[in-house]
Amino acid sequence: MGPDTLFLGRQPILNQVQKLVGYELLFRSADSLHANITNEMQASAHVIVNALSHFGIQDVLGRNKGFINVSNEILLSDALELLPKEQVVIELLESIQPTDEVIDRCRELKARGFTLALDDHLYDPSFEPLYKLIDIVKIDLLQPGPMGLKEMVACLRRWPLTLLAEKVETTEQFQMCRQYGFELFQGFYFARPTVIQQRNVNVATVTLMQLLDQVMKEAETAEIEETFKQNPELIYNLLRLVNSVYFGMREKIKALRHAIAILGREHLKRWVMLALYATSDKGTASSPLMEMAAVRGKFMEMLIKMHPPLQRDADYADRAFMTGVLSLIDVLFNVHMEEAINQCNLAEDVRTALLEREGVMGNLLLVAERVEQTRFDDLAYLLQPSRLTPQTLTSAHMEALRWANRFTSAT
């Protein structure tokens, strides 16, 4: 199977204050769009080889940790020595048993500085020699076992283990697990709207919404500059972006007007949209919501650019980017999507995509959501109207990951 027929899926891992700290890397076959790996060794070998070579682990992870599943065979092989120990967590699949050979290998990897985790684990006294070497234990909320979640946590607390809750799909589950003592959380609960309620929006967010409206209406630079001046922190963040390696400027840009000119209106519009996710009380530069919005937007833009039949007009790719980025704004503000986008001067196809998931743009948004959640079972059906190939999806997704990592690092 060639690298152009592989998906490398990512599932976000958050800490107790809901900051993004890592991803579990998941292998999927793009040819079948199903997770139909023939055996564990093939799956983990593909992830390791492709993350390092074809995809590039920095492109996939950015500054975050990567949890990589390993089978018994891979654990005992020399392949793990290829991994950067500072950035990966070696995740032992649940089929691995605590044999003397496994324990010795884990002791060796620990001595070399690797972080070790147990995947989908249920407390088992036979694993006690291994608990002394393991850093993280992952517990599947859907399969707590006969002991029960609270009791299992109490048993595992006898060792200095970090507990990670898997398949956290609601805020209520997150709160419960945090009360039980879990420190890490894997799942998409953070991207689901909570109870709809009106809440106060901070000053920076109000300013950014004004800026977005001005940029969309092509306001004069002087007017945009005056709005920036309402919030000095936004000026600092904009200058930091312009002076970052992302733009590769040889001389430091110090003036706000110069920074706006250097960025250009399209880059400024993108920065404002993504900055919304970093200034709300749900986000920072390490916000999983910001990362997800950035990847969605760029992924949809790249699908348009890589598949010319989808390009309806000169601005279509840009509107696709906007659709992806704004598709989480209801989660950001805890309001209905229609209310969230009423302040934006959006094209009709973008509004329809965001509100109804209809039209070409809406279809691409559905594709982006399925890829993001590694839900490939119905992806083939969604690809039919646009005639996109799995190979195009893979290329577009990887370019989106690279861009998002560069952009969010500079923001």
Quick check: helix, strand or coil at residue 67? strand
Which residues on neighbouring strands pair with residue 162, listed in sequence order? 136
Given a contact cutoff of 8 angstroms between Cβ atoms, the answer to whether 365 and 391 are in contact is no
Angle subtended by helix axes 359-372 and 316-326, to nearest 10: 50
Query: Which CATH number fits the domain 3-191, given the four candidates 3.40.50.300, 3.40.50.970, 3.20.20.450, 3.40.640.10?
Result: 3.20.20.450
Q: Which helix (H) or strand (E) holds 20?
A: strand 20-29
Provide the pLDDT for residue 247: 59
The pLDDT-based confidence of 39 (bands split at 50, 70, 90) is low
Provide the pLDDT for residue 270: 87
Q: What is the pTM of this model?
A: 0.78
| Average pLDDT rounded to a whole number, residues 74-93 | 88
* 149-165 core/surface letters (b: 16 or more CB in 10 A; e: else): beebbeebeeeebebbb
pLDDT tens track for 350-359: 999 999 999 9
The secondary structure of 164-204 as a DSSP string is EEE---SHHHHHHHHHHT--EEESSGGGS--S-------HH
Strands 65-70, 20-29: pairing is parallel
pLDDT tens track for 182-230: 999 998 888 776 544 444 456 677 788 888 888 888 889 899 998 888 7
Which tokens in the block code for residue 378?
A: 């119905």
The pLDDT-based confidence of 5 (bands split at 50, 70, 90) is low
In angstroms, rounded to a whole number, what is the distance separating the alpha carbons of residues 241 and 367?
30
Which residues on neighbouring strands pair with residue 396, listed in sequence order? none
Residue in the block written with tokens 């560069």: 406
Of residues 54 and 276, the one with the higher pLDDT is 276
Angle subtended by helix axes 359-372 and 390-410, to nearest 10: 80
The separation between the first and the last C-alpha atoms of the chain, rounded to the nearest angstrom, is 37
The secondary structure of 109-174 as a DSSP string is HHHTT-EEEESS----GGGHHHHTT-SEEEEETT---TT-HHHHHHHHTTS-PEEEEE---SHHHH
| Phi–psi pair at 250, nearest 5 degrees | -80, -30
Rounded to the nearest integer, the mean pLDDT of the chain is 82
Assess whether pLDDT exceeds 80 at residue 48.
no
Given a contact cutoff of 8 angstroms between Cβ atoms, the answer to whether 341 and 329 are in contact is yes
Assess whether pLDDT exceeds 90 at residue 336.
no
Of residues 321 and 201, the one with the higher pLDDT is 321
Which tokens in the block code for residue 169?
A: 């799909």
Residue in the block written with tokens 């190939």: 389
CATH 3.20.20.450 in the chain, residues? 3-191
| Average pLDDT rounded to a whole number, residues 57-71 | 86
Query: Which CATH number fits the domain 203-410, given the four candidates 3.30.70.20, 1.10.3210.10, 1.10.20.10, 3.40.50.720?
Result: 1.10.3210.10
What's the DSSP call for residue 333? H
50-54, 72-76, 344-348: least confidently modelled range: 50-54
In angstroms, rounded to a whole number, what is the distance separating the alpha carbons of residues 369 and 403?
18
Strands 162-166, 6-14: pairing is unpaired
Query: For the chain, how long is the longest CA-to-CA vector?
Result: 71
Query: What distance lies between CA 85 and its chain's CA centroid?
Result: 21
What's the DSSP call for residue 290? H
CATH 1.10.3210.10 in the chain, residues? 203-410
- With CA atoms as reference, report the closest residue to 69 among 119, 5, 133: 119
Q: Which residues fall within 8 angstroms of residue 124, CB to CB, at 6 or more apart?
A: none
Given a contact cutoff of 8 angstroms between Cβ atoms, the answer to whether 241 and 271 are in contact is yes
